[in-house]
Chain A
């Protein structure tokens, strides 16, 4: 699979009064053309900031990319001008967020908002753009789209609004769709509709998807490859089947073991002791060390690197993968 996006040792930090928040602190991964990459991890581990960095849309100040690079189709986006970034955002990369209400403008009709996006980026007339907007709403499964384009966001249900967001995001045939918790605010039956829709559209339009979620069920259902993040770092990367069969990083293992399963007998749930560290004050050595059941002296002293152990699997752990590149090579 050809690489569409590549993050190389990306570091996005926030310079706040309390100190430097190392929200994204040396993250590397890639997304292939037409591939669905899942990004999982608990609250605050840097998933959203990673996505926003790709679009250069995080608040700055206080945020700043202090290291690394992001390549889109082989070219660094960090060297692009603001105008070039705007083109990239409209034409090639689209993003949908968790709460569609906050990202849709309440004073414009849904049709206007989609048409606006189409007009700006595809140079169509208003009339053509509105026609395309109707097509988009039909594509995302909104009944009576001719009528719906005249409605305002608050007149739609949560599921409908998320469909409108997806319609808007896809109206320019992006090569990459970044979906940040696209179904977290929705009920399960509506979530099932939206996930099904995303799969169908992906099949039809052939775009790549970066799917951010903390729901391991959603990941299992949608993703081909998965990146597990912890405290601003990637701790494991693997294809979805291998990861769920045998997670290697102790954090991935802990996450997968702590969710209740429908097909397993009851009993006590596995717990990961302790809490996610304060990003201003990270522990020395392995960031997961203070919560890890396998921790050794080495872990407390030096931070393990993300090591390629073959078969498309990367793990950052002294115990499970040696933790150092040169030792493996």
Chain B
């Protein structure tokens, strides 16, 4: 990254009207090899990502496996320190907070994981799992805590009397509800949902999606919703960001993305979704080959090796991520502002 860019990040003034702002965020994981475990390179998991999330909205994040969605989410929660860049939560620079400040901030941000089977401790009762955060943060204890846990179970549609049951006594969908109850315990403002329905059957998936929407309306929650199922993302998101090899390639309102995709990768991704309509005839854009390794991303536009529109410049220069109008951002040399 050049000096000018460095300074731009330093000088950046956080926006006042958003809940979360991510600015030029990077995470490079060192890769070691050989007998002495030398560093032989980096996985550029997240490589210069900027976006914001407004209060009460749902921002969807889509992209293929390994493109950096989870790492981005983990950095917002500061479960991962960035290599470069900033995250602001309500205008506060998250990475500059001390332990005590971070502890207070943690209450505002929660996460729901993909796998309802492995994300819950099998030896803890539901009461302990959901109430743990209340204890850690000293919010309530004894009878009051139990009452709060039962309230939470009720909110997510579980039987409050099942408070002393263990995770294995619940179905997949019910376990995901436990995960949601746990996330809600401290009245957070932001919940990062990392593939919350990917492991669930369709009939259970619709229960959880409805629940997330109901809770958002009731508690004015803000979601970062990570998923690879585009139909699900369209359904739940107000705006959607599309990632490819550690970078955002397109970001705009959900309706706009699906009716007017601008980035060639987004177009290909859309046309690859199998749609549940056997009478639909459409032209498919089949991408050749695999996603390149994030250790060695292609020069210029990361997508140029698979792009059907690629020109000479695409292999040479990284395209800027620009607003083409109406907050429709795209990073492609061939799509300019109008």
Contacts and interface: CB of A to CB of B under 8 A. Distances in A.
Interface of A: 42-43, 143, 157, 159-160, 187-193, 195-196, 214-221, 223, 240-241, 244-245, 254-256, 258-262, 266, 268-272, 275-276
A275 B290 contact: no
Contacts of A188: 64, 228, 230, 269, 272-273
Quick one: which of A241, A254, A261, A262 has the most chain B CB within 10 A?
A262
A269 B206 contact: yes
A214 B229 CA distance: 14
B287 interface: yes
A262 B207 CA distance: 18
Given A187-B65, A260-B235, 17 more contacts: A42-B202, A43-B201, A157-B290, A189-B268, A191-B272, A192-B271, A214-B201, A215-B274, A217-B273, A220-B275, A221-B275, A244-B278, A245-B279, A260-B232, A260-B236, A261-B231, A269-B209
B143 to A, nearest CB: 32
B290 A159 contact: yes
B175 to A, nearest CB: 12
A255 B202 CA distance: 7
A259 B230 contact: no
Among all A-B residue pairs, the 9 with the closest Cβ atoms: A217-B274, A260-B235, A192-B272, A269-B206, A258-B206, A187-B64, A42-B201, A272-B203, A220-B278
A275 B171 contact: yes
Nearest to A156: B290
Contacts of A256: 276
Contacts of B206: 258-260, 269-272
Given A188-B269, A214-B202, A275-B173, A260 B274 contact: no
Interface in B192-227: 201-207, 209-210, 213
Interface string B239-280: 000000000000000000010000000001101111111111
B196 to A, nearest CB: 14
A271 B201 contact: no
A216 B229 CA distance: 13
Interface of B: 64-65, 171-173, 201-207, 209-210, 213, 228, 230-232, 234-236, 258, 268-269, 271-280, 284, 286-287, 289-291
A54 B240 CA distance: 44
29 contacts: A160-B290, A187-B228, A188-B272, A188-B273, A189-B272, A192-B286, A193-B286, A217-B231, A217-B275, A217-B276, A220-B280, A240-B278, A244-B277, A244-B278, A258-B202, A258-B203, A258-B205, A259-B202, A259-B206, A259-B276, A260-B206, A260-B236, A262-B230, A262-B258, A262-B275, A269-B209, A271-B203, A275-B171, A276-B201
A196 B258 contact: no
A152 B167 CA distance: 39
Contacts of A218: 274
B231 A259 contact: yes
Contacts of B172: 43
A209 B65 CA distance: 28
Contact of B231 (A189, A220, A260, A275): A260
Contacts of B236: 260
Contact of A193 (B64, B203, B205, B287): B287
A268 B213 CA distance: 8
Contacts of A215: 274
B274 A221 contact: yes
Contacts of B286: 189, 192-193, 196
Contacts of B234: 260, 262
Given A196-B286, A269-B209, A271-B210, A262 B273 contact: yes
